Structure 1
Amino acid sequence: MKNLFSALAMTTFLFSANAMAEDLRIGFADPVSSIDPQLNNHAGDHSVAKHFWNGLTGKDPIKMEPGVAKSWRNIDPLTWEFTLHENAVWSDGKPIVAEDVAFSYERALDVPGSVATVKGFIRTVDKVEIIDDHHLIIKTTVPDPLLPVSLYNLYIVSKHVGEKSTTEDYNSGKAMVSNGPYNYAGYTPGDRVLMKRNDAYWGDKPEWENVTYRYINNGPARTAALLAKDVDVIDKVSVADIAKLEKSEGVKVYAYPGLRALIMQPSFNPEPSKYITDKAGNPLKENPLLNQKVREALNLAINREGIVSRIMQNGATSANQWMPEGTFGYDPDTKDIPFDAAKAKELLAEAGYPDGFKMTIHVPSDRYPQGPETAQALAQFWSRVGVETQVEVVPFSVYSGNANKGEYAMTMIGWGNGTGEGTYAMTSILATPNKEKGLGASNWGNYSSAEFDKALADVTSEFDNAKREEIIRDAVKIVAKDVGIIPLFHYKNIWAARDDLKVVPWNSDRTVAMQVSKIKAD
């Protein structure tokens, strides 16, 4: 163990001492649970994985660029054929073959220790048939027009290493035989990931020879690190720091519309919750959040524009659904949610809670920018209409496990909509939870609607884009009527960097070294 830490320390020293033009240091916000690319469907894990691994399809889920597969075609409603790159190799020099794909999909179905399974990306896959080393057939259980989009986030790992490796082996570097633009150079959990350019990579060669990917969970601390020149790029810039950074010499700010929504998930657990009591602190006989009027009251009690302008300082846009305006599946007929405290009080009385009740809501301390501050604002809004609300802020490592077990009365989730269209959220945070089918993996509130689930089944099998979008829009209406979730706002994607660097976003809202390039002199 001592030798391992000594090696990591030396590697870290070399990376920091050798910060030349071809080296890049990124300060990022999203925590990483593991560098095992199939353990958890977490934003930070995905951002790291994009450096080391490819899926069958490539970096842009909208344009559908090639990944490990160079081409694919739909043979019939249940059959897809994929052709792999002939020159694609693992970082140890062995060729990437169809057996690796088949192994990866089998492994992803059950990774020990997962709290947010990735198997939702392959939930429709029935079997993988190997034709030869570079050709394979994927059979689906139902027609799935979005299969290539889903496969973008399911990373291919090597069979020859992976079949004898555990998550701990990936985290230690022992199993890090990668197929992406970067190779593993070191990992210190909770601190940083070190990467070195993969010169054997068959795709576009990355600009940076060495990358230090450093976890800095506090927004002001990321800003301070950039201004002190300890890092070259930071993501999720604290909205309170934007003006300061824009005025700082040697720094540029890059802001783009984002896909990530901040959402509250009320508990649909039929059992009484220890986090909801009457005003005297006594347990209630039933969960009041099961009452649609109570959920609607909480929804109407929120001043979203106030949160956006005061807490987010216009670094976000208010949300009435999970996808932002202008994206595939956004429903223009779903109206903005008004701020109406008087109506909220009426609904609580109609629901049988004229005096309200007490509730504790939970939020991670180290996950969502301005998440704790937003939760405190919600507590004030809800307390004003009679629902006395307290906020408990806990580390994400604790929060995610408890939320996944449905222990909380009201949870907060930042959903990245990483496929660029509406079905990703439908599958993961809104579908009735079904572990075997890979549905509802992050549906922490256990929302369940037969009408919604039918819409998800229908959209999964519809190949016509116009019809598919209409089904998604209908699903938005179902969730809005049910108040199955309480959408708050969509983050803007804001990066800051040295003024000789340019940051261009990916549609998936990730933060990766491949987004960053040197500005060429005229």
Structure 2
Amino acid sequence: MKIIARLLIAATGLFNLTACYDAGIKQTIHDTGFIYCESGNVDFFNPQISDGNSILEAISAQVYDRLLIIAPVTQKPSANLATSWQVDDTGTVYTFDLKENVQFHTTEWFTPSRALTASDVAFSFNRILDKNNAFHNVNSGDYPWFNSINFSQMVTSVEAITPHKVRFTLSTPDNTFLSVLAASYAVIHSEEYAQQLAAIDEKTLIDVKPVGTGPFKLAQFQRSELVRLKRHEQYWQGPANMSQVVFDISSRGTGSLAKLLRQECDVVANPISSQLPIIIANDALTLYSQTAMNVAYIAINMREPILQDQRVRKALSFAIDRSSLINSVYYNSGIEAKSILPPASWAYGNDSSHIRYDLNYAKGLLREAGVKDGLELTMWVPLDNNSYNPSPKKSAEIIQSDFAKLGIDLKILTSDILNPNELKDADVDLVLTGWNANSSDPDSLLRPLLSCDAKQAGFGVANWCNEEFDLLLDLAKETNQPRYRINIYRQIQNVLSEELPVIPLAHGVKYQANQSSLTGFTLSPFNTYSFHNVVRVKELN
């Protein structure tokens, strides 16, 4: 990612940026748009090459469209750029009909000559699939999420059949495929823009100066400070209600709440749980909540010899008082995790006999494994709060205290953003992390984190690979029988409870706080939705 960062520094000078906005500018934003505050950072705007970043997901949901989306009510894949689709008798050929007259962004760096066609869809996915594609190796040539689900083995070809019909051919029937196309990573790019960049030998700009079909387009960017989007006037669903959105990415922790109270922020994503009572008590603010399909967990570095002992891994799990986490970190808004899958999942299996608080049993397991007091472990903790963990540092300190009762000295290493690629050669025993699912399908929580492909892609930070687990995952996605799928996912959860490559901690709630003058937001257990319908209600004098 260092290469991308250097490219971005060079590219941002073209945007005529400023990170400071005075009272007049703030009033203009208030009158014509809103300021969205979330901690984090971005080095590029294409989620295809991202390894998971909530602020990038929020921005890309405004800039790009996908063929399908996850409907917030039914929680199933539904039409978006694709109006309909057909599946052949083999279950391996999907043909999608595309919406007509979908316009790409007109920006300072690109003026489109045509609307979206099937060739744009084919280009967007063939960049990932085809190693000979001119853009495959651009900006690292790594597609972590797609690699973690073995997308190149799932899809054998993507072809434009007619200008508004595209065909995907799969290697085997796959019940997860439609959910994959609805994931926040599966965005559609302009092939015409790519060809223009290739002609001037500037292919790297495709990810840092984006062109999409979403309701907003990139206008300004300054790293660690702000991203400003302007309304796409030719958006296929009609122009957005607000003419601009400013993402303030300079805030951290309590600073976001202070800005919200001073009306310097209109929206705060994932507020810290301890801030919720203050928000609820303020009549000028509205708090949205949504049960999320997520999990906070500790990934165990299976390359460490002492952690390869199953008894040691289980002892660590039994030593954690999850009720203390829920009370102190989630302020009783979360749920103790008994599985990687949350209770809202249709495949959830509660295995409390394996995942519970039992300090004496934990001590007995360590004695049996020959581990004496004084064992030292390190745990990497990203500082950015998220819906699955509203205060990672505080969670880490509670876990540190729990491990001390077990005679384990836990050293906490902190970082603003966790980059799984940095862990490959790092001397780290544990990682406090989590995951937000892209759909209601259990596969979207299990495969990207724990499959052998996830390990190979650097997406699965536990460095775990289990052939039985992968076989069960593949069986579950190939069968159409709901009862059979549920039974397979119960077996999968049993394997995880026995092997314990990750320690489930909690399932969080998705929160958003905003000025009550703003309405029209859509909260989902999965992807961030566009701000197309957000509008500010005029205040009464």
One-letter amino acid of the counterpart of residue 45, structure 1: L
Deviates more, 1:419-428 or 1:149-158: 419-428
Aligned-pair distance for 1:404?
4.8
1:226 maps onto 2:246 in alignment: no
Aligned-pair distance for 1:489?
0.8
1:129 maps onto 2:156 in alignment: no
Match of 1:337 among 355, 377, 392: 355
Equivalent residues of 2:19, 2:226 under 8 A apart: no
Equivalent residues of 1:334, 1:476 under 8 A apart: no
One-letter amino acid of the counterpart of residue 383, structure 1: A
One-letter amino acid of the counterpart of residue 433, structure 2: I
- The alpha-carbon distance between structure 1 residues 416 and 405, as it changes in their structure 2 partners (threshold 3 A), is farther
One-letter amino acid of the counterpart of residue 106, structure 1: N
Equivalent residues of 1:28, 1:511 under 8 A apart: no
Match of 2:236 in 1: 202
Equivalent residues of 1:406, 1:446 under 8 A apart: no
1:454 maps onto 2:455 in alignment: no
* Secondary structure of 1:118's aligned partner: helix
Match of 1:160 in 2: 192
1:474 maps onto 2:494 in alignment: no
One-letter amino acid of the counterpart of residue 337, structure 2: A
Q: In 2, distance between residues paired with 1:19 and 1:294? A: 54
* Secondary structure of 1:489's aligned partner: strand
Q: In 2, distance between residues paired with 1:312 and 1:10? A: 33
Aligned-pair distance for 1:456?
1.0
1:320 maps onto 2:338 in alignment: yes
1:346 maps onto 2:364 in alignment: yes
Q: In 2, distance between residues paired with 1:108 and 1:2? A: 24
- The alpha-carbon distance between structure 1 residues 177 and 247, as it changes in their structure 2 partners (threshold 3 A), is same
Matches within 5 A, 1:336-415: 337-355=355-373, 357-366=375-384, 368=386, 369-396=390-417, 399-405=419-425, 407-415=427-435
Match of 2:71 in 1: 60
Equivalent residues of 2:295, 2:341 under 8 A apart: yes
* Secondary structure of 2:47's aligned partner: coil
1:118 maps onto 2:145 in alignment: yes
One-letter amino acid of the counterpart of residue 486, structure 2: E
- The alpha-carbon distance between structure 1 residues 204 and 407, as it changes in their structure 2 partners (threshold 3 A), is farther
Match of 1:281 in 2: none
Q: In 2, distance between residues paired with 1:356 and 1:3? A: 50
- Which consecutive unaligned segments of at least 5 residues does structure 2 have? 1-9, 107-111, 130-135
- The alpha-carbon distance between structure 1 residues 387 and 331, as it changes in their structure 2 partners (threshold 3 A), is same
Aligned-pair distance for 1:386?
1.8
One-letter amino acid of the counterpart of residue 96, structure 1: L
Match of 1:302 in 2: 320
> TM-score under structure 2 normalisation?
0.85
Aligned-pair distance for 1:337?
2.5
Equivalent residues of 1:15, 1:212 under 8 A apart: no
- The alpha-carbon distance between structure 1 residues 251 and 367, as it changes in their structure 2 partners (threshold 3 A), is closer
Aligned-pair distance for 1:519?
5.9
Q: In 1, distance between residues paired with 2:332 and 2:434? A: 17
1:148 maps onto 2:178 in alignment: yes
Equivalent residues of 2:157, 2:168 under 8 A apart: yes
Equivalent residues of 2:448, 2:460 under 8 A apart: yes
| 1:330-367 Cα deviation digits (max 9, x unpaired) | 22456572211111000011112143511111111235
Equivalent residues of 1:130, 1:136 under 8 A apart: yes
Match of 2:109 in 1: none
- The alpha-carbon distance between structure 1 residues 97 and 118, as it changes in their structure 2 partners (threshold 3 A), is farther
Equivalent residues of 2:241, 2:535 under 8 A apart: yes
* Secondary structure of 2:178's aligned partner: helix
- Number of aligned positions between the proteins: 500
1:191 maps onto 2:225 in alignment: yes
- The alpha-carbon distance between structure 1 residues 493 and 54, as it changes in their structure 2 partners (threshold 3 A), is same
| 1:36-63 Cα deviation digits (max 9, x unpaired) | 2322131332221111111211253823
Aligned-pair distance for 1:520?
9.1
Aligned-pair distance for 1:67?
2.2
Q: In 1, distance between residues paired with 2:208 and 2:125? A: 23
Match of 1:37 in 2: 47
- The alpha-carbon distance between structure 1 residues 137 and 11, as it changes in their structure 2 partners (threshold 3 A), is farther
Equivalent residues of 2:11, 2:208 under 8 A apart: no
Q: In 1, distance between residues paired with 2:121 and 2:15? A: 35
| 1:176-203 Cα deviation digits (max 9, x unpaired) | 2211111111122222221111121112
Match of 1:169 in 2: 205
Q: In 2, distance between residues paired with 1:253 and 1:443? A: 33
Match of 1:180 in 2: 214
> TM-score under structure 1 normalisation?
0.88
Match of 2:514 among 497, 500, 508: 497
Match of 2:6 in 1: none
Match of 1:485 in 2: 502
1:433 maps onto 2:453 in alignment: yes
Match of 1:70 in 2: 83
Equivalent residues of 1:427, 1:440 under 8 A apart: no
| 1:250-269 Cα deviation digits (max 9, x unpaired) | 11222222222111110111
* Secondary structure of 1:463's aligned partner: coil
Aligned-pair distance for 1:434?
5.9
Q: In 2, distance between residues paired with 1:453 and 1:3? A: 42
Match of 2:480 in 1: 463
1:102 maps onto 2:131 in alignment: no
Match of 2:168 in 1: 138
One-letter amino acid of the counterpart of residue 417, structure 1: A
Equivalent residues of 1:116, 1:442 under 8 A apart: no
| 1:440-477 Cα deviation digits (max 9, x unpaired) | 64211111212111111112212333332332232112
Equivalent residues of 2:374, 2:407 under 8 A apart: yes
- Which consecutive unaligned segments of at least 5 residues does structure 1 have? 273-286
- The alpha-carbon distance between structure 1 residues 405 and 69, as it changes in their structure 2 partners (threshold 3 A), is farther
Equivalent residues of 1:158, 1:177 under 8 A apart: yes
Deviates more, 1:162-171 or 1:96-105: 162-171
Q: In 2, distance between residues paired with 1:78 and 1:25? A: 44
1:4 maps onto 2:40 in alignment: no
Q: In 2, distance between residues paired with 1:240 and 1:482? A: 35
- The alpha-carbon distance between structure 1 residues 505 and 519, as it changes in their structure 2 partners (threshold 3 A), is farther
Q: In 1, distance between residues paired with 2:373 and 2:20? A: 61
| 1:344-403 Cα deviation digits (max 9, x unpaired) | 000011112143511111111235431111112111111211221111112326x44322
Q: In 2, distance between residues paired with 1:206 and 1:30? A: 25
One-letter amino acid of the counterpart of residue 416, structure 2: P
